[in-house]
Structure 1
Amino acid sequence: MRFLEPNFLWLLPLVVALWFWPRAVTGRADLRAFLLRAAALVLVVLALARPVVDTSVERGDAVVVLDASDSATAAPVLPEGVRDFVRGARRAALVTIGAVQLGPKDAELFDARLSFARDGSSSPLGAALEAAGGLVPSGVPGAVLLFTDARATRSDFAAGAQALAERGIPTFVSRTSATEPNGLPLSIEPLGTLRVGHTGRVRVRGLGATDSVRLESGDGVLAEAFATSADGRFDAVLEFEPPTAGFVAVRVVAAGGVAEATLAVQDPLRVAYLGGRIQGGGEALGQLLGAGFDVRTSPRADDGSLDEDAAGTVERLLGDAPLVVLDDMPAEALPEGLLEELAERVEQRGTGLVMSGGSAAFGPGGYADTALEAVLPVDFVQREEKRDPSTTLVVIIDTSGSMGGERVQLAKEVARLAIQRLLPHDKVGLVEFYGAKRWAAPIQPASNHIEIERAINRLDAGGGTVILPAIEEAYYGLQNIETRYKHVLVLTDGGVERGAFEPLLRRMADKGMTVSTVLVGGNLHSEFLVDIANWGKGRFYSVPNRFNIPEVLLKQPTSAQLPSYRTGNYAVDARGGSVWWGGERPTDLPDIAGYVESEARPGADVTLQVADTGQPLAASWMWGAGRVGAFMTEPVGSGTEPWSDWPEYGRFMGRFLARCASPDDGPYRFEARRQGHEVVVLATARFEGANANVRPAARTSQDRAFDFVEVGRGIFEARLASDPERELWLGVGHTDAGARMVEDRRLVVPSASVPEVAVDPADQLDLDRLAAATGGGSLATTGLRFGSRTTTGAVRSLAPLLALLAVLLYLVDVLLRRLPRRAASQRASAR
C-alpha cells in the first residue's frame, strides 16, 4: 500500500488531543468512547492521505500514443488514472506524433520512447499504431492508450488496427480537441476527361462555408464560381478551358485557405475526317473547331474517292481516333468493306461516328440499304412526285357520208372523252376528212375548252372517205411540237381507201408519234384498222354503241424521286439540355441554307430541328458501345453558310462532336490506385482481341517505363514502387508495330498524404470502431486492462472504504452514548 497524499498523515498527532478533550468538558474519563472517537479520526486522516493498493491480477506492458500534430489545439495531458496504470505496468513505452513536451515526472514513467514527429507537419497515425503493437512483445499481455484527434495525413489505419485486434491488445481511446477549419478546400476532383481546348469541369469540396471558390494556375485565374454550403461542408463546380495539355499544377482558393493539386490534361481530340465533295473540308472543319481537335484528313484520288493507299491510311486512322466524321462523302467513293468496319467499331469498340453533309450523304449519297443505315439515329426520307408528262393529241374524225346519223355523234363522244383526259399543259388539234381534209381546230392548249367544243359541234357527215391525207396532215402538224408524248387518234367506220399507209405510220412511230384507231359503228372488227394501229405502235378500239365507249390511253403518268436535299432559308429551333449547349438553350439561332430531309428514330436525342417541319438537323443516339451523330447539312459548306457569322457555331459543333466521341483513347482503359508503397496500374482491353497485336504500356513523368503482366483475359497489371507522400504522374498507352509506346492518356496518382488541417472527417480514424475491434474502450468510461483479463483499475484506492468505516464508528459512538442514559432512567423508575 502507498499514499498518494502523504502530507495528510501529519494530522495523526491530533488524535492524542481526544484524551484531554472529554475530561475538560465532562470532568470524567470514558475509555470506550475515547477509543471509538480516536479510531474514527485516524480513519478520516488516512482517507485524506489517499492510500492505494495494487490489485492487478496480471501485469503487462503499457504503450501510450500521444498525437500532437498540426490539427491539435494543445498537446494531450496524461490523466492521473493513466499515470497509475502506467506505474503498475511491467514495462511502459511512449509513442508521440508531433512535438510533445512531458514533465520530468511523466517522462520517468516510460522505459522507451518512439517519436514520429517531422516538424509537426504530418501525422502517420497508422504507422504509430503499428509501432505501438510492435512495442508489446509476443506472449506478453499489453494495452495501448491512444490520445488523438483522429485526424491523420495518411489514412492507412487498417494494418495497425488489424494487428492489435489479432494479438488481443486492447486499445483505449481518448479524443482530444482539434482545430475546426472553416471554408477550407479538401479535394479537387476532375469531372470527366480534361482536354485542351475543351470546356472542363472540376469539383471542389471542403469544410465549413465559403462564398466563392477560385481556381488558379501559373497563367492566372482559370475559373471562379459560387459555392453551396450544407451540413458543415461546401461544394462548388468550376468550368474552365485548359490552355495547354500535360500535367497542370493548380490551386483552389477559398475563404479558409488554399489547396493544391495537379490535373492531367489530355491532348486534342483526334478526329478521322473522311470527306471528298467539299474541297479542303477537313482543314476548314479544323479551323472551325479550334485547338481542341486534331482533325486528320485522308488522302483522296483525283476523282475524290479513296484509293488503295488512302484506304490503308483510313484504316490506321480508324484504329487510333476515338471519333470518325463522314462528311458529304458518297458511299460509292469509300473502299469496299469500310462501312461494315465502321459499324462494327461503333457497336463493339465504342468508336464515335458523325455523318454529315448534303447531296452526297445519307439517302442522296447512296447509304440506303448499307451497313450504316441501321446505325444512324435518323430514317432517310425519299419523297416522290407524280408527274403527268405533256401530250399533244390530234384527233382525226371521219365525216364522210358513211358516218351519217348515230356514227358521227358516237365519234364526237369518243373525241370529247379523250380530250377530257388531257391537262391544261397538254395540247390538242382536230382534223376532219370527207374526201378532203382540213383542220377543224388547229393544235392549241387543251385548256381552250370552249373553242375545242365548238369545233367538235360543227362537224357533220358528208362526202367521201380519204384518210391517208388526213394522217399526213397530222404528221406534219406534230413535227414542230415539243411535248413528251405525241398521239394521233383516228375515228372512222372502217370504210377507208387503200394506200401507202405502212411507210408513213412507221416513220411516225420512229419519230415518237403513236397512232391509234377507233372503229365506230356496228362492226366489231376491222383488220385494216388493226394494221394501222400496229404500224403506228398504238392501240385498236371498237365502239359499237354509246354504251361501250372505251377509255383511250394517250399517255402513262410517271413518278419521280424528289431531291432529299432541300435548299432555301429554314428557321432552326434548339433542343436538348445544357450538355449540348454549355448552358442555357439559345433562342435566336440563324437560319439554315439547306439540309437533308429525315425523320428522327425513336430514342434519338434531337439537338437541332427545322422549325417548320420538325425534322431533325442534329441528332444522336447510343448504338452498342458507341454514340452515333447525324448532322443533316455540311458543317463547312453552303448549307451552313448563314452560320459563318454565328459566334457560337464553333463551340456548338465542338460540343456535338466531343459528345459523340469515345471517352477512351486507344485499345485499353487504364486505372491507377495506391496500395501501400506501390502504385498498381490496371489495363483492361476495350474490345475483344485488343491485345492481339498491341500490349499496354506506361511510363512515369521521368520517362521510367514499367512492364505489364497479364492477370486475366484482356486484363493486365503493373506495379511500381512509389513514395505514398508524393504525387505520381503517368503516361499510359500501348505499343505500336515497332514496339514503341504510343501515349493515349495521362494519369495523376495523388499523394496518400494530405495536410493535417485538411483531413476530411469522413477519412478520420473511427475511434469507437477501433476500440471495439481490439476489445478496448473509452478511457473515460472503461476500466483499463492488460490483454483479456479485466480489473476495475490497475490500482485500487482505499480512501472511500476508510471514510465509510469512520462514519460507522461515529454512529456506534452515538449509539453507545445513548444506552447508559436509558439504563439509569429505568433504575430511577423502579425506585
Structure 2
Amino acid sequence: MSVTFLHPHWAWLLLGLPLLWWQVRPGVRRGHIVLRAAIIATIIMALTQPGLLIATDRRHHVFVLDQKPALTQASRSRARQELAARLVRVPAGDPVALVQIGGRPIAARADRRILLDDAGSLSAALAQAVEAVPPDATATVTVITDGLSSDRHWGRSISALIGRGIAVETVALDRPRRAPFISNLVIAPVRAGERVEAVATIEGTGDDVAVALYSGDRLLATSPGVALDGVTRVALRFTAAAVPFMSLRAVLRGGGRSDGAGFDMVAAIQPPLSLLYLGERQAGAAATLQRLLGPGVRVDARRPAEAAAIRDFAGWPVVMLDDLPASGLPAAAQARLMQAVERRGTGLFYAGGKAAFGDGGYQQTPLAAALPVTFRQEEKAERPGIALAVVIDSSGSMTGQPLELAKYVARLAVRQLTPKDHFGVVEFYGAKQWAVPMQPVRDAQAVERAIGRMQAQGSSVLFPALQEAYYGVKNAPARYKHVLVISDGDVSNGEFEQLIRHMAADRINVSTVVPVGDERGIQNMTQWARWGLGRFYYVPTDASLVQLDLSVPATTAMPSYRPALGPVRAVPGHDWWRDLGSSPPPPLAGVVRVDVRPDAETVATASAGTPLVASWLYGRGRVTSMMTEPLGQGTGGWAGWPHYGEWLSRVVARTAAADMPVAVTIDRTFGTIRVTLQRADTAGGGGAMPDVRLDDGRRVPLEQEAPGLFVGTVPFPQDRAAMVTVTDGATVVRAADRAFSDTAGAHPMSALHALPLAALAKATGGAAGDGTRGDRIATPLWGWLALVALLLYLAEIAWRRWPPQRNPAWRDART
C-alpha cells in the first residue's frame, strides 16, 4: 500500500502557513490560529489530489492465437491446445483478452475477443494486444504463432510493450514445408550501360530450381538450378538499359516446369556519371573515351589550359588526368583539385606514362602526396598518430562465436597500434559504456584483457554508443581518426545516416565489421561504411579476420617507364574485374614502375607483379592510379579486348564520389509513401527546396526537418511501384520502390521477415521484471480531505460564534 499525488506541486503552498502567526491581533488565542492552519493545510492537501494505491494479485492476460490458413491443420490444433493449457493456469478473477488471427472464432474462456480478418498480420495482432491492456495495469501477453507475418510494422507495438513493462511469452509453431517462391529481389544502384547484379532470394523446398529475369518479354539472365531446402540466394547479372526506370520480373523455373507466379520490381537507372577529362597528348582521346565508357558516363573534356580557370572541381563526381604533365595543371589548380577530393569527396583517376609518372614534374607537388603510389621507394616514412574507437555490439544477438570474433578483431586492431596512438572500446547492450576509455596504447595487454571481459547481454541500441565513440575520437590528439563498428547490424532505429555523414565531414572515417548477420544487417553495415567513407568487412569465421592499418606516410619518388610484356592479372579480393568474361586482357606495351603505399590497395598487376592499378581513400574522396596510358601507347593492344570499355567504366565508377549528391529513400506504409532526401553537402542546392516528382507527374510536398534533410509523405496505392525523380539544382537522382514492398502482397510470407519470437520474449521479459506484482487499485483521498476541511471550517465558525455566557469554561478560554 502506498500514497501517490496527481498534483504534488500544490504542496509548495504549505510553506506559507507560518504567515498566519505574523502580526496576530491581541486577544486571538493560539488554538484559533492552529484551527485555521489546519483548515488551510487540509485544503492544500486536497488540491494535490492524493490517492491510496492498494496492491492486488489481479493481472491482465492477453493471448494472441495464430489460426491463419497458411498454417497446417496440425499447427492450428497445437496452437489451440497451447491456449487451453495456459487458460487453465489463469486465476479465476484475472481478466482475459483473446486476439485471434484468422480462422473461425474458437470456444475459450475470454472476457474480450478480437478476431482479425487480416489472416497474417502479426503487427495488427500486437497492436490489439497493447490496446487490450488498461493503462498502468500489470499484464502478460502470450503469442502463439509461427512468426510469419504479412507485414513488418510491429516496431511501435514492441516499443510500447517494453516501455510499459509487459512481459511477452512466445510459443513457436512449426512452419510448413512450402513450394519454392521468390521472396525478394535486390539490385544495387546502377547507371545505363553498367553491368549490374540482381540478387534473388528463394524460399521453400524443391530440386533444380532456377530463376529467370525478364524486362518485359526480353530475357536478361537465368541462374543455374539449385537444390532448395530453406532459403537460398542466387545472382543474376545483366546490362542496365538506357531508360529512367527499368521494370523487372523474376520467374521461377525448375523440374521441367515453369512457375508463372513472378516477383516484380523496378530498378531506378541513374543519370550518367559526369567525368571531367583533362589530357592533351592523345588526339581525339575524349571521343574515344566516351565510346569506351558508354552511356553510363558523360565525358566533359576540357583543355588543360582551361583547368587553371576551374574554381570548384567538386562540380564533377570524378576527375580524370590522362598522361597530363604538371605544366598543364598549375600548382594552384592542383591545390583546388586536392581540396575537392579531400573535403568534398570528388574522385581522382590519375593515369599515364612518362608524362604523368616520369619527368612530368609532379614530384613534391600537392597532387603527388595524394596518389596511392610513390614515385620511388622512400628510405623512411613517418607514421602519423592514429585514434581508433571500436564500437562492439555485446547484445544478446552476438552471443557465442560472433562476440568472440568481434573481440578478436578488436585485439588485432590494438596490436597494430603504437604507444603514441589512442584507442578505446564502447560496448552497447541496451546501454552504452566505455569498456576501454579512450587512452594512449601504452599497456596493450591491459587493453586486451579489458576487451576479453566483455559479455553478451541486453538489446541492440547502437545510436548512443556511436555518438559516444564520435565524441571520444573527435577530441583525441591524433592526425588520423577512425571508428570501427562491429555488429550484426540488427539494431534499433536511429538517425544513423545523418550522424555518420557528420562524422565523415569531421574527417572521422567509419568502417564496419559483420561477424554474423542476415541480409538486412549486412545491408545496414555496408551502407554505414559508405556513408562513413570507410570499409566494410564480412568476417563469418576466424579464417577471414581482418586487420586495420590507418597510417598514411608522406613520400616522394622518380619511377621509370618500361615495357610490360607479361600477362595482366587481377589481385584476388577485388571485384573490379568480376564478371568480365573468360578472355583475359592482352599484355601491356609499357608500364611505369612505382611502389604502392602501405595503406593502398593493389587492384591489378602487370608483368612480374608490377603494380598496374592501385587505389586508396584520401580524405573523403578516392584516388586511383593507373600506371600506363589508358588511351595511348601502353594499352595499344587492348583495342581488341571486348571488355576494355566495361572494365574502364567500372574503374571510373569505383573512383567517383562514394555517394550521390542527394541520397533518396522511399519507405512505404500501407497506403502511403515517405520520401526522404539527404544532401551529402548540407550547404548544397543553393538553399532551394528540391523538387520531387512521381512517375504520374504529381509533386511530393517536402518539409525541411534539418539542414539538408527533407521529408515528404503522400498517399500512394499499395499495388503500384513508386518511381520518384528528384531534381536538386543541377543534380538529378532517381529512386524506386516495388509494389507491396512493406507487405507480402500476393506472395507467401517470407521466413526472412518473420517476427523474431525468441528475441521478443527476451527483450520484453527483461523489461517486465519478475512478474510477481499484480494490479494496484487506486482510491482517491482528495474528497475525504475536502470533507475534513469543511468540518474544520464549521468548527472554526462554531468557535467564533459560540455564546460565551452559555459555557463559562469556553468564556474563560476565549478571554
Match of 2:104 among 69, 80, 101: 101
Amino acid at match of 1:249: S
Q: Would you say 1:160 and 2:160 are equivalent positions?
A: no
Secondary structure, counterpart of 1:373 in structure 2: helix
Q: Counterpart in 1 of 2:441?
A: none
Q: Would you say 1:735 and 2:728 are equivalent positions?
A: yes
Q: Counterpart in 1 of 2:125?
A: 128
- What whole-Å deviation, never above 9, does each CA across 1:455-487 have from its counterpart, x for those lacking one? xxxxxxxxxxxxxxxxxxxxxxxxxxxxxxxxx
Q: Would you say 1:223 and 2:218 are equivalent positions?
A: no
How many Å separate the matches in 1 of 2:135 and 2:594? 79
Match of 1:275 among 256, 276, 279: 279
Q: 1:88–1:203: structure 2 CA closer, same or farther, 3 Å change rule? A: same
How many Å separate the matches in 1 of 2:710 and 2:318? 28
TM-score if structure 2 supplies the norm length? 0.53
The answer to whether the Cα contact below 8 Å between 1:724 and 1:753 also exists between their aligned partners in 2 is no
- Pairwise mapping of residues 423-822 of structure 1 onto structure 2 (< 5 A)? 570-577=565-572, 579-583=575-579, 589-595=585-591, 598-611=594-607, 615-666=610-661, 668-670=662-664, 673=667, 686=680, 690=684, 698-702=692-696, 703-711=698-706, 716-721=709-714, 725=718, 729=722, 731=724, 735-736=728-729, 742-748=731-737, 751-755=741-745, 758-767=748-757
Q: 1:129–1:379: structure 2 CA closer, same or farther, 3 Å change rule? A: closer
Q: Counterpart in 1 of 2:239?
A: 241
Q: 1:116–1:630: structure 2 CA closer, same or farther, 3 Å change rule? A: same
The answer to whether the Cα contact below 8 Å between 1:149 and 1:175 also exists between their aligned partners in 2 is yes
Q: CA deviation at 1:233?
A: 2.5
The answer to whether the Cα contact below 8 Å between 2:569 and 2:606 also exists between their aligned partners in 1 is no
How many Å separate the matches in 1 of 2:591 and 2:169? 76
The answer to whether the Cα contact below 8 Å between 1:381 and 1:564 also exists between their aligned partners in 2 is no
Q: CA deviation at 1:165?
A: 6.6
The answer to whether the Cα contact below 8 Å between 1:152 and 1:756 also exists between their aligned partners in 2 is no
The answer to whether the Cα contact below 8 Å between 1:59 and 1:88 also exists between their aligned partners in 2 is no
How many Å separate the matches in 2 of 1:603 and 1:371? 18
Q: 1:170–1:327: structure 2 CA closer, same or farther, 3 Å change rule? A: closer
Provide the aligned C-alpha RMSD in A. Answer: 4.8
Amino acid at match of 2:104: Q
Q: CA deviation at 1:286?
A: 0.8
Q: Counterpart in 1 of 2:198?
A: 202
Q: 1:674–1:365: structure 2 CA closer, same or farther, 3 Å change rule? A: same
Q: CA deviation at 1:287?
A: 0.6
How many Å separate the matches in 1 of 2:235 and 2:213? 10
- Pairwise mapping of residues 345-364 of structure 1 onto structure 2 (< 5 A)? 345-358=340-353, 360-364=355-359
- Pairwise mapping of residues 78-93 of structure 1 onto structure 2 (< 5 A)? none
Q: 1:652–1:767: structure 2 CA closer, same or farther, 3 Å change rule? A: closer
Q: 1:584–1:164: structure 2 CA closer, same or farther, 3 Å change rule? A: closer
How many Å separate the matches in 2 of 1:734 and 1:58? 62
The answer to whether the Cα contact below 8 Å between 1:573 and 1:587 also exists between their aligned partners in 2 is no
How many Å separate the matches in 1 of 2:683 and 2:201? 41
Q: Would you say 1:370 and 2:368 are equivalent positions?
A: no
How many Å separate the matches in 1 of 2:174 and 2:564? 72
How many Å separate the matches in 2 of 1:271 and 1:176? 56
Structure 1: runs of 5 or more not aligned: 1-56, 383-561, 777-783, 790-831
- What whole-Å deviation, never above 9, does each CA across 1:552-575 have from its counterpart, x for those lacking one? xxxxxxxxxx99666x78444324
Q: CA deviation at 1:650?
A: 2.0
- What whole-Å deviation, never above 9, does each CA across 1:703-736 have from its counterpart, x for those lacking one? 423335253xx55242425569567746476632
Q: Counterpart in 1 of 2:320?
A: 325
Amino acid at match of 2:126: L
The answer to whether the Cα contact below 8 Å between 2:357 and 2:559 also exists between their aligned partners in 1 is no
Match of 2:186 among 189, 214, 222: 189
The answer to whether the Cα contact below 8 Å between 1:619 and 1:630 also exists between their aligned partners in 2 is yes
- What whole-Å deviation, never above 9, does each CA across 1:367-393 have from its counterpart, x for those lacking one? 3333212222344479xxxxxxxxxxx
Q: 1:574–1:202: structure 2 CA closer, same or farther, 3 Å change rule? A: same
- Pairwise mapping of residues 26-37 of structure 1 onto structure 2 (< 5 A)? none
Amino acid at match of 2:238: F
Percentage of identical aligned residues: 31
How many Å separate the matches in 2 of 1:603 and 1:771? 45
TM-score if structure 1 supplies the norm length? 0.52
How many Å separate the matches in 1 of 2:376 and 2:164? 76
Q: CA deviation at 1:89?
A: 8.2
The answer to whether the Cα contact below 8 Å between 2:564 and 2:606 also exists between their aligned partners in 1 is no
Count residues with an aligned counterpart. 521
Judge which range, 364-373 or 222-231, deviates more.
222-231
Structure 2: runs of 5 or more not aligned: 1-55, 378-557, 777-815
How many Å separate the matches in 1 of 2:671 and 2:774? 32
Based on CA coordinates, which of the two structures has the bigger radius of gyration? Answer: 1
Secondary structure, counterpart of 2:368 in structure 1: coil
Q: 1:565–1:757: structure 2 CA closer, same or farther, 3 Å change rule? A: closer
Secondary structure, counterpart of 1:629 in structure 2: strand
- What whole-Å deviation, never above 9, does each CA across 1:571-590 have from its counterpart, x for those lacking one? 44324235232258978643
The answer to whether the Cα contact below 8 Å between 2:594 and 2:611 also exists between their aligned partners in 1 is yes
Q: CA deviation at 1:230?
A: 9.0
Judge which range, 256-265 or 337-346, deviates more.
256-265
How many Å separate the matches in 1 of 2:227 and 2:751? 16
Amino acid at match of 2:284: G
How many Å separate the matches in 1 of 2:160 and 2:374? 65
How many Å separate the matches in 2 of 1:374 and 1:563? 15
The answer to whether the Cα contact below 8 Å between 1:194 and 1:201 also exists between their aligned partners in 2 is no
